[in-house]
Amino acid sequence: MRVPVVLSPVRWPRRPAAGARSRRRLTGFGLLALVGIATAPLPQAGAATAPCPAGSARPWCDPARSPDERAGLLLAAMTKQERIELLGGDELVGAIGLPGTHTGTLRGVSRLGLPTVHLTDGPAGIRSGRATALPAPVLVASSFSRSTAAAASTVLGTEAVARGNDVVLAPSLNMVRTPLGGRTFEVLGEDPYLAGQLAATQVHTLQSLGLIANVKHFAVNNQEGASTTPLGNLVAIGDLGSRFSVDARVDERTLREIYLPAFEATIKEGGALSVMCAYSRVNGVYACENRHLLTDILRDDWGFQGTVIADYGAAYSPARALKAGLNLDIWPGILLSPTTVGWSLLTGAVRQSTVDQRARETLRALFAGGVFDRPRGAAPTGIDVGAHDDRAARIAEDGMVLLRNERAALPLSPDTPGTIAVIGPEASMNKGGGGSSATAALRTTTPLGGLRARFGASRIAYSNGRDRARAARLAKGAAAAIVIVGDRASEGVDKPCLGLNCGQFDQIDRDALIEAVAEANPRTIVVLQTAGPVLTPWRERVAAILEAWYPGQAGGRAIARLIAGDAEPRGHLPLTFPASAADGPTDGDASRYPGVSTGSRIGHTATYSEGVLIGYRWYDAKQLSVAYPFGFGLSYTSWALSNLRIDAGSPATVRVTVTNTGSRTGTAAPQVYVGLPAPAPGATQAPWQLRGFDRVTLQPGASRDVAFQLTDRDLSSWSTAAGDWRIAPGCQRIAVGFSSRDLPLRGAVSRGTVGGDCG
């Protein structure tokens, strides 16, 4: 998290006297410059017992009762003060991630056996001290694989449990509206269907491990803010269109079709028990005070029955937030403190019944998440460091994307005679993003380390690229030159521009370095460690490009195995690589991004006037050429798709045959797109929208049939007139291929009341 320095009431957690109420607070005023001088209480060692042990006489401990009933019974046993105290957290500095701490803590009520609940960040590895640094979520999205998403969450969840946590603040589900977004590495790309499918799997996986998954940041929190100064970039504070105050103006259809479906999938398909509301505003109302989001949509439309937690410091008015549907101000419980809530009750701004309802919803989530029935209180268990490192390596392989491979530059056999030049500042580091997803890795294999181990240290000649002439000399006589470069990205601030050098502070011109090495060696292989898309002006002059994203602690092993051909590249882009920095939906229009000042109001307003056209939807609708399209990724073998069959029932079934036409075993990701009629005359519509994907591993010459189901919802658009999903009359086109720009198989189903002309 970014820690704002605030002058506010501070409540320090205290250990309760034996048998007393477990939550005591001191209130005072202090300047919270969080420098890590204090740590949260260590998890208590001792015998592992469940808060509700078998045979407990407490009525809410009866596992035969529903979570609703159990929550109601416990709530009835709580005093008014205890209910109020369930609305605010008790952890001040845990978000720093020091060993033995938790990102958030909600103290329990010992007399009732309500346990203290611990929360941890985050999407790329837990933050309760050292942990397995997983590949960034953008890499997981690139796998186009639900099982890879589950594998990442299994590592995350197992370690969260081992460190005594109950809630994991993941996955992050905001959409990549602009690739400049500082958290692009932390989210699952630019397509709501892909993100939703993978995130629902992750939620399900985490919750199967006895945890509560908290999906964030609800909603339309798609920018951190641009910095107007280099200092802002350095310390990661974006002041222009800052996430803390920006007002996203977005129409209902765009909200429903683009910015909400990933969240919706985690609730309806994944069963998420917790949601984090965002800092920013949506249509003029702060997300954590937004009744339309938190109640009308989340609870009433989607049937969410969990707890809504405010992002850190994102709760503003107690009455507005509680009435809108906020349950918990976890950090550090200032806004929803006994004092502020008590005052709101006294003045009649909020009713006791609202407080009770919010407390009850949190209790229900804890019961449904198994917090009362899972043994706890034991000393933190160990993490299987080696096994998790292996899994991190495997996940990293799954999501790295081969963008270019000319003259069979890759794979590069370790038997190739000669020296291999490894060049670039990021060769000796595993890039990761800054902020609440930064992890303290348990071990690290850098790209250079991985290549040395695989190809033999004596054959690798290394230059960090600072001296470009030296790097070119090194490359000149080498069998191949591998240039490893990256970008810089962090929560808190957006990237100032899309080039590799943007926002870097080391004065190394990475684009010029690549050009110089490519000039010296025709077998130049570029490995990118980036948060998302970057400009690739040199792409036609290099032999190969492997996008490794922020690859996690075992990234170097994965890079070496893919380069050597020990593993097959199988990742696909979850976002578009534009050909030019001016082409994207928000480029060159400050009213869209980062937003403009509206005079009387605080903050900036970002108007989502591009509507549903984000990512490939925009590039397709505007017929713009791109560097590498959404869904794209090469492998070392070749593929064909044939035999499209469509059964237009409900759900419709789409079948295709996938064939490995090359000479190596490989993995393909066939993708299904729909081209839908506009929901109203004159309404904007994207040419194609992803609605199905799968992964298929086949030996050379082998074929397999793959089937995809398209529900009515998959064929629907949001009808503003009806306020609901509708299949618009006309022709629902279907296309199957290997990227949004490679859709060789075309067909249609025809639904709706009139038309249906698919001719």
Closer of 437 and 524 to ligand BGC (Cβ) = 437
Q: Are 244 and 316 in contact, with CB atoms under 8 Å apart?
A: no
Q: Are 476 and 520 in contact, with CB atoms under 8 Å apart?
A: yes
The crossing angle, in degrees rounded to 10, of helices 146-162 and 385-399 is 150
- Pair of tokens at residue 393: 């390596």
Q: Which amino acid is at 431?
A: K
The crossing angle, in degrees rounded to 10, of helices 261-268 and 192-208 is 30
Report the catalytic residues: 311
Q: How far apart are the two ends of the chain, measured CA to CA in Å?
A: 54
Closer of 32 and 429 to ligand BGC (Cβ) = 32
CB of 671 to ligand BGC, least distance (A): 30
Closer of 34 and 112 to ligand BGC (Cβ) = 34
What are the C-alpha distances in Å from 293 to residues 244, 323, 397, 453?
18, 12, 37, 51
48 CB-contact burial (10 Å; exposed 0-12 / middle 13-18 / buried 19+): exposed
CB of 170 to ligand BGC, least distance (A): 8
What's the rounded Cα separation, in Å, for the pair 76 and 725? Answer: 40
CB of 696 to ligand BGC, least distance (A): 35
Q: Are strands 671-675 and 730-737 parallel, antiparallel or unpaired?
A: antiparallel
- Give 21's contacts (C-beta < 8 A, 6+ positions apart): 82, 109, 110, 111
Give the containing element (helix H, strand E) for 732: strand 730-737
| Dihedral in degrees, nearest 10, Cα atoms 264, 433, 488, 620 | -20
CB of 332 to ligand BGC, least distance (A): 11
Q: Are 545 and 390 in contact, with CB atoms under 8 Å apart?
A: no
CB of 609 to ligand BGC, least distance (A): 26
CB of 525 to ligand BGC, least distance (A): 35
- Give 362's contacts (C-beta < 8 A, 6+ positions apart): 86, 87, 307, 327, 328
What burial letters (b/e) apply to 336-364, b meaning 16+ CB within 10 Å? Answer: bbbebbeebbeeebbeeebbbbbbbbbbb
Q: Are 611 and 253 in contact, with CB atoms under 8 Å apart?
A: yes
What's the rounded Cα separation, in Å, for the pair 523 and 405? Answer: 10
The secondary structure of 330-352 as a DSSP string is -SS-STTSHHHHHHHHHHTSS-H
CB of 214 to ligand BGC, least distance (A): 8
Closer of 103 and 463 to ligand BGC (Cβ) = 103
What's the rounded Cα separation, in Å, for the pair 472 and 514? Answer: 9
CB of 2 to ligand BGC, least distance (A): 5
Closer of 95 and 155 to ligand BGC (Cβ) = 95
What's the rounded Cα separation, in Å, for the pair 358 and 320? Answer: 13
Closer of 96 and 546 to ligand BGC (Cβ) = 96
Q: Which amino acid is at 669?
A: A
Closer of 160 and 731 to ligand BGC (Cβ) = 160
Judged by the rule CB under 6 A, the positions of this chain that interact with ligand BGC are 1-2, 95, 103, 121-122, 169, 216-217, 311-312, 436
Closer of 169 and 483 to ligand BGC (Cβ) = 169
What's the rounded Cα separation, in Å, for the pair 545 and 693? Answer: 24
Closer of 216 and 454 to ligand BGC (Cβ) = 216
759 CB-contact burial (10 Å; exposed 0-12 / middle 13-18 / buried 19+): exposed
CB of 177 to ligand BGC, least distance (A): 17
CB of 561 to ligand BGC, least distance (A): 32
Q: In 10 A of CB 600, how many CB atoms? A: 5
The secondary structure of 572-613 as a DSSP string is --SS-EESSTT-STTTT-TTTTT-EE-SSSSSEEEE-TTTT-
What's the rounded Cα separation, in Å, for the pair 709 and 61? Answer: 41
Give backbone dihedrals phi and psi of 137, rounded to 5 degrees, phi first.
-55, -30
3-class state of residue 758 by DSSP: coil
Closer of 121 and 247 to ligand BGC (Cβ) = 121
What's the rounded Cα separation, in Å, for the pair 169 and 212? Answer: 9
CB of 95 to ligand BGC, least distance (A): 4
**SS3 per residue for 37-105:** CCCCCCCCCCCCECCCCCCCCCHHHCCCCCHHHHHHHHHHHCCHHHHHHCCECCCCCHHHCCCCCCCEE
- Give 147's contacts (C-beta < 8 A, 6+ positions apart): none
CB of 222 to ligand BGC, least distance (A): 13
Q: Which residue of the chain is nearest ligand BGC when measured via CB? A: 1
What's the rounded Cα separation, in Å, for the pair 268 and 301? Answer: 10
CB of 263 to ligand BGC, least distance (A): 14
Give the containing element (helix H, strand E) for 559: helix 555-564
Closer of 2 and 695 to ligand BGC (Cβ) = 2
Closer of 310 and 558 to ligand BGC (Cβ) = 310
Closer of 131 and 548 to ligand BGC (Cβ) = 131
